[in-house]
A and B are shown apart, each in its own frame.
Chain A
Amino acid sequence: MLSAELLARLQFAFTVSFHIVFPAFSIGLASYLAVLNGLWLLRRDPTYLALFEHWKKIFAVAFAMGVVSGIVMSYQFGTNWSVFSDRAGPVIGPLMAYEVLTAFFLEAGFLGIMLFGRERVGDGLHMFATLMVAAGTLISATWILSANSWMHTPAGFRIAENGQFQPQDWLRIIFNPSFPYRLVHMVLAAYLTTALVVGAAAGWLLRRGRGDAATRRMFSMAMGMLALVAPLQILAGDQHGLNTLEHQPAKVMAMEGHFDSHPDGAPLILFGWPDQQAKTVHWPVQIPNLSSLILTHDWTGALDGLDTIPDQDEPPVLIVFWSFRVMVALGFAMLGLAIWGLWARWRRRLYTARGLHLAAFLMGPAGFAALLAGWITTEVGRQPFTVYGLMRTAESHSPLDAAAVGASLAAFVIVYFFIFGAGIFYLLRMMSTPPGTGAPALREGPIRTAGITPGPAETPRQHRG
């Protein structure tokens, strides 16, 4: 029989994993749409408009999926993690309230105008609305990552008599030690993810011989973005790792699979099977001293191992070890694709290199996979705490009945697979049609229904008795 705590953790992991991929995609796509619309207004090149209209519809579906799965998250804290909510609410809550006030309303308020309102408000205000939606997605990421980072590296608080975390210095809370690193890493991940999806859609169309001017432009922009962001992300990830070593050493030990301390230089374990009971990594493939070089920038730098951490404070090593490797491998694969794209561009074969188009297509989901792997690494690496070092996961959950959590978990699983399965199918179908053609078989949706007469004779007030 699974415990209520484990079921609650599974439920949070499941709902947040489904949720996180949509905002990540929306963050990147909203910025991409703002760039496309800006370029259309500046250059009046119809391919930009075709691309804007095409990705706008895809954005609308992905955004709706993000909204509905996000509402679940905002209530999940209370339903399943009420003790955490009570104790950490005074610190985390205001950050989330600011997210709602500065980001969600901004996105929601201007989304309708961005999607349906170009004819009604004119190009200038429509561009403004598009920028507000993009800004909203980034502001949202800022607040939620601040809140999330505080759970990893809490700062600026004291613990009150009733057990609540009481805020003392909001600047130190918001700009807690891991926040800048996590924010940069996450936003770059969102941009990478989107570039890979756009590139995959273009690669698919190019391989099918349906590469019109707009598709070629889309492929070029995606590969360009990838070449810009993939190397930056590797640098940002390295810096984030060093920050984690400073503040959450146990997480890095688990990522590295270092059960033992290495006073004269630690090896980089490439692969192996960590065994937490036996406190060892079976069948390790390792490079001597490389881990010390990466983490301390010194060939013989000393690195502590999990032997310095009490057993009850260790994160689950196997999950963290492997999710980290998946993320890093995908990151380097993205870099490889970026270099390939640059080489093809230099050889003027960007639109004819069929191998590259296939690779770009196959790498389409890589951003999502890396994002989830990274998320698992950092969140499982935070265990067994919700607020690192201060509040245990085991003391954070609601006074729950395993049957109640189990039933709601089952309901979430069924509904999410049904709803998001259908949504992903629609997204893929929309992406597989070339920009500018639409889906002629279907009646156009609410996006094209801006034909509401704006004349004064139609205002409701004129109809009053």
Chain B
Amino acid sequence: MFGLDLSFIWAGIIAFAVLVYVILDGFDLGIGILFPFAHDEGERDVMMNSVAPVWDGNETWLVLGGGGLFAVFPLAYAVVMPALYAPIIVMLLALIFRGVAFEYRWRTRRWKRVWDFGFFGGSVAAALAQGVALGALVQGIAVQDRAYAGGWWDWLTAFSLLTGVALLIGYALLGATWLNLKLQGRIQQHMRALARPAALATLAMLGLVSILTPLQDPTYAARWFRWPSALYSVAVPALVLATAWRLWRGLARGEELAPFLCALGLFVWAYIGIGISFYPMIVPPSLGIAEAAAPDDSLRFALVGTAVLIPIILAYTAYAYWVFHGKIRPEEGYH
């Protein structure tokens, strides 16, 4: 199709699904991470309500990432899941606590604190586990005879812990800027104030991880400075700094939409950077995109529907967001 290999089209689609997941569920999880910063129950209520109608759709992109990998890169799926066994299981269990808290919290008074804590703890653990999984992937996964060939604790290193904390902070930034957009009054001011240190810490983490990444595998540095990705590598510090500056100015001037979009922008730049490091590998250091792909019959069959359905999904997801646009007002809505 258009002279492009099907497996590379699919790698792009999976990468897109994971990116959409990261930025959409990123602010959901960020809200959970920021939950202890609320002053009272009313503030926690509006924080949670700002994503209650959409969180489920946001999380579905994670299922598409996993299910899509299973469908079109079954070998990558079969290698990555056992390699990241512990972080994946922790993430799944954490997402259970986070997900049910959306409903359970409203169904009990005595145990409301329990589910508040479940929402917070689940969000923190899921964010850490995802970040650790990313770090472990960047470090590289040993593959032999179509199977994971490493040990059960290979994923745990100082680097993967660092990426875990980095993602946690990044999600908190997304959450704070989302809440700055959706809430008003004291809690909005509070979240806007929290967004500043979160932004600084995110930048620091981004820099640190970028410096340490080529140490994980020298080919990463080589990939950064080959043509044409070198263009992006040179531009990226400028893009990040410009975005960060716009974010900072937006927060300082009390803007609402711009800081949120800038926070999303930081995630997109970082994500493209990871993509350049990996390409053309799907599981570094040795499993390539074409090699891990399912047979063309599978790729073609899945692509026909995906090409039609993803735009439709994006359209009705956008509609659902539009239906619930605007501020959450704490003084109304409860009767």
Binding site for B on A (CB under 8 A): 60-61, 64-65, 67-72, 74-75, 77-79, 82-83, 85-94, 96-102, 104-113, 115-117, 120-121, 160, 162, 164, 166-168, 170, 398-401, 403-404, 408, 411-412, 415, 419, 422-423, 426, 429-430, 441-455, 458-461, 463-465
- Asked whether A85 lies within 8 Å of B109 as measured between CB atoms, the reply is no
B59 contact from A71, A89, A460, A461, Cβ within 8 A: A71
B333 and A61 contact, CB distance less than 8 A: no
Known: A89-B298, A415-B96. 12 other contacts (CB 8 A): A78-B82, A79-B85, A86-B146, A87-B74, A89-B78, A93-B71, A101-B313, A105-B317, A166-B297, A399-B147, A451-B333, A465-B253
Q: A101-B305, A449-B333 are in contact. Are A74 and B63 (CB under 8 A)?
A: yes
Is A117 within 8 A of B53, CB to CB? yes
Q: In the complex, which residues 290-335 of chain B have their Cβ closer than 8 Å to any Cβ of chain A?
A: 294-295, 297-298, 301-302, 305-306, 309-310, 313, 316-317, 319-320, 323-329, 332-335
Bound Cα distance from A400 to B324, whole angstroms: 45
- The residue among B72, B89, B335 with the most chain A CB atoms within 10 A of its own CB is B89
Closest 8 CB pairs of A and B: A89-B74, A445-B106, A78-B81, A112-B53, A93-B71, A451-B333, A82-B78, A446-B52
A69 touches B294 (CB 8 A): no
Contacting residues of chain B (171-225) with chain A, CB-CB under 8 angstroms: 181
B86 at the interface (CB under 8 A from A): yes
Residues on A with C-beta less than 8 A from B63 are: 70-71, 74, 100, 104
Is the C-beta of B273 less than 8 angstroms from some C-beta in chain A?
A: no
- Would B298 and A442 count as touching, CB distance under 8 A? no
User: Given the complex of chains A and B, what is the CA–CA distance between A112 and B321 in angstroms?
Assistant: 10
Are A166 and B89 in contact (CB-based, < 8 A)? no
| A445-B107, A460-B256 known; A452+B333 contact, CB < 8 A | yes
Chain B residue nearest to A70 (CB atoms) is B63
Nearest CB on A from B96, distance (A): 4
Q: A93-B67, A101-B306 are in contact. Are A167 and B301 (CB under 8 A)?
A: yes
B70 touches A77 (CB 8 A): yes
Cβ-defined contact, A100 with B326, below 8 A: no
> Given A86-B146, A93-B70, A461-B257, are A108 and B57 also a contact pair (CB < 8 Å)?
yes
| Interface core residue of B71, B152, B253, B333 (most chain A CB under 10 Å) | B71
- How many A-B Cβ pairs are below 8 Å? 303
B250 part of interface (Cβ distance < 8 Å): yes
* Beta-carbon contact of B89 and A79 below 8 Å: yes
Is there an interface contact between B92 and A71, defined as CB atoms closer than 8 Å?
A: yes
Q: Which residues of A lie under 8 Å from residue B334 when comparing CB positions? A: 443-444, 448-449
B179 CB to nearest chain A CB (Å): 12
Residues of chain B in range 92-145 having any CB-CB distance to chain A below 8 Å: 92-93, 95-97, 99-100, 102-109, 111
Interface presence of B148 (CB below 8 A): yes
A464 pairs with B53, CB closer than 8 A: no
Give the residue name and chain of the A residue nearest to B91 (CB): A75
Residues of A within 8 A of B54 (CB): 112
**Residue contact A108 to B301, C-beta cutoff 8 Å:** no
Chain B minimum-CB-distance residue to A101:
B309
Q: A400-B82, A459-B326 are in contact. Are A96 and B257 (CB under 8 A)?
A: no
Cα A99 to Cα B297 with chains together (Å): 18
Tell whether, in the assembled complex, residue A445 and residue B327 are in contact, meaning their CB atoms are under 8 Å apart.
Answer: no
Mind listing 14 A-B residue pairs with CB under 8 Å? A67-B56, A82-B81, A89-B74, A94-B301, A105-B60, A115-B53, A120-B323, A166-B297, A444-B106, A444-B335, A446-B49, A453-B327, A463-B257, A464-B258
